[in-house]
Amino acid sequence: MKYKWIYPEHVHATDVNRLVETLGISHAVASLLVRRGYREPAVARKFINPSIDDLYSPFEFRDMDVAVNRILKAIEGDEPILIYGDYDADGVTAVALLYRIFKELGAKKVICYIPHRLKEGYGLSDKGVEFAFTHNVKLLITVDCGISAVDQIKQLQDNGIDVIVTDHHLPPDELPPAYAIINPKLGYPYPYLSGCGVAWKLVDAIYRKLNRDRRTLYWYLDLVALSTVADVTPLTGENRIFTKFGLLVMERTRNVGIKALLDITGLKGHRLTPYHLGFILGPRINAQGRMKTAGDAVNLLVTQRETTAKEIAERMEVLNRERMKLQEQIINEAEAEMSKLGMDKEKAIVIAKEGWHSGVIGIAASKLVDRYYRPVIFIALEDEIGKGSARSVPVFNLYEGLRRLREYFVTFGGHKLAAGFVIPRDAVDTFRESFLKLVDSELTWEDLKPEKFIDAVVELHEVDEKLVNDLEKIGPFGVDNEEPLFLVTGVQVVGVPMKVGDGHLRFKVRAGNVVREAIAFNYSTLGVEIRTGSMVDLLFMPTIDKYYGKPEVTLVVEDIRDYGDIRS
């Protein structure tokens, strides 16, 4: 895939030099911080040295005091408490967090409920309401959902069940008539918390109210970090603090379920990064809700027994493999259908198929977006309806596009990059035609060339151990704090490039007297032949690699161009 390289904006040397002098960081990292908005030394110092003490008071949430008092009353009065969560990693971790804390505080009867993705759908369902009635619940707490459940919450409140909503999704114009609503988008200083992050703030408030040692809660930051990364929230502000310290906690976790998950995935004893949370642990939890129910995932995170945790982790591993196999089958069938319909020549992809698993088509669509870089919609046909999952690229607002075609849908919802809908089967063909026309009218083929953003242009001699160590300070990387990419130009390939692993290439580059190791993963996808003596420009992330037995600064290549090619 060919990428457009977006060069960095100019920054004032005065700002950069001031950070170099006051923080003792490399020039390249200082310029990167300035470009990302951390121009003042005090602000930049706080960013590279985040502290738990930088978290806001949980009582800055509206209704927090009301919610805390009601929960403590329920625990003291031995009232049955129902924790109602979502079926993804964010909802599951939030349910587990509240369950464990409430039990530690002495709650006698705490019940967890996760809706079935395919039978009940997202949010507070009618079946969930009925469950609360039949179990004589007096207090229901939602996590990662509930902010839009106006009718269900009114029904619960009218029948004597108090509802505390903890959610992080965008509140609707009409708020539900809940006993209390805890949502960071309702006046809290940092609006981007995950659902589990909101749950942690709730228990933080409870601990403060009881004057308990809040350091105990730090051991639950592994759950918060997992939710924050898996739910693709910005790694800024409080989320950055949660993730940075949560990763450290996870490496020493006391949660036997997480230990079992780390063990079965081969991550035990490794230094953990957001990649491991987002692409290894998170998908295994999400697979439970996609394929069956998320009950096993909750049980994994709340059990105290190692044997139970091991058994559940093994079942989850098997189910995740089934999910991956099903996902690959859907992708293969979709690509065959694309070819048959000539859709590879369209600016968007819309495929409808009988027998597709509606819980897996969304992640399969995401893979096709990565592969073809255009909006993708998969529709699982069943009886007289189709369940659609849509994914997009940044240049096309998916929610807005579907909103303009809303007459086709029974229901729909989502945001800029992801959405879902239900559509009558007999409307699928005309919807496909309308959607393709809409995308074609709004996007050019140039819009559909993926971009790589260059954070700094450096000389090869600047790529040293200090640069790598300084980059450690601005991690963890993720949404809104992306892993930096550096550009070095006009370097010469020296020695003999060596193929390693499954399609990777190791080689050396030189500029003057400086030689550095480089590795290009999935080398064939870069579309450039790397030969001894070639002059190339490399887009890369620096790291310390021990491939040859000793630590060595290595350029992990993201893209490459022939030296002449970039100047043509």
Three-state SS at 354: strand
In 345-480, where do the E strands start and end?
A: 349-354, 376-382, 385-391, 411-414, 418-424, 451-453, 456-457
Q: Which of 285, 360, 287 is nearest to 330 (CA)?
A: 360
pLDDT by residue for the chain (568 residues), tens digit each?
678 999 998 999 999 999 999 999 999 999 999 999 999 999 999 999 999 999 999 999 999 999 999 999 999 999 999 999 999 999 999 999 999 999 999 999 999 999 988 788 788 999 999 999 999 999 999 999 999 999 999 999 999 999 999 999 989 889 999 999 999 999 999 999 999 999 999 999 999 999 999 999 999 999 999 999 999 899 999 999 999 999 999 999 999 999 999 999 999 999 999 999 999 999 999 999 888 888 899 999 999 999 999 999 999 999 999 999 999 999 999 999 998 888 888 999 999 999 999 999 999 999 999 999 999 999 999 999 999 999 999 999 998 999 999 999 998 888 888 889 999 999 999 999 999 999 999 999 999 999 999 999 999 999 999 999 999 999 999 999 999 999 999 999 998 888 888 889 999 999 999 999 999 998 877 778 888 888 999 999 999 987 677 889 999 999 998 864 443 3
Q: Are strands 418-424 and 411-414 parallel, antiparallel or unpaired?
A: antiparallel
Q: Which of 81, 58, 59, 63 is nearest to 71 (CA)?
A: 81
Domains identified in the chain and CATH numbers:
4-49+454-567 (2.40.50.460), 58-312 (3.90.1640.30), 342-442 (3.10.310.30)
CB-based contacts of 199-203 (< 8 A; 24+ apart in sequence): 199/94, 199/97, 199/98, 199/143, 199/166, 200/97, 200/224, 200/242, 201/58, 201/61, 201/64, 202/58, 202/64, 202/67, 202/68, 202/71, 202/98, 202/166, 203/97, 203/98, 203/101
546: tokens are 């021990």
CA–CA separation, 113 vs 141, rounded Å? 10
Contact yes or no for 19/37 (Cβ under 8 A)? no
Three-state SS at 424: strand
**Sign (positive/negative) of CA torsion 431, 437, 440, 442?**
negative
Q: Which residues of 200-214 are buried (b: 16+ CB within 10 A; e: fewer)?
A: bbbbbbbbbbeeeee
| Residue 232, CA distances (Å) to 227, 235, 275, 463, 481 in order | 8, 9, 11, 30, 12
Residue 321's pLDDT is what?
Answer: 95
Q: Which of 122, 175, 168 is nearest to 151 (CA)?
A: 175
Is-cis flag, bond preceding 476, omega within 30?
yes
Question: Which amino acid is located at 515 in the chain?
Answer: V
Element (H, E) at 238: helix 237-251
Q: Which of 514, 516, 520 is nearest to 552 (CA)?
A: 516
CB count in 10 Å sphere of residue 336: 11
Q: HSE, CB side, 13 Å, CA atoms: give it for residue 408.
A: 23
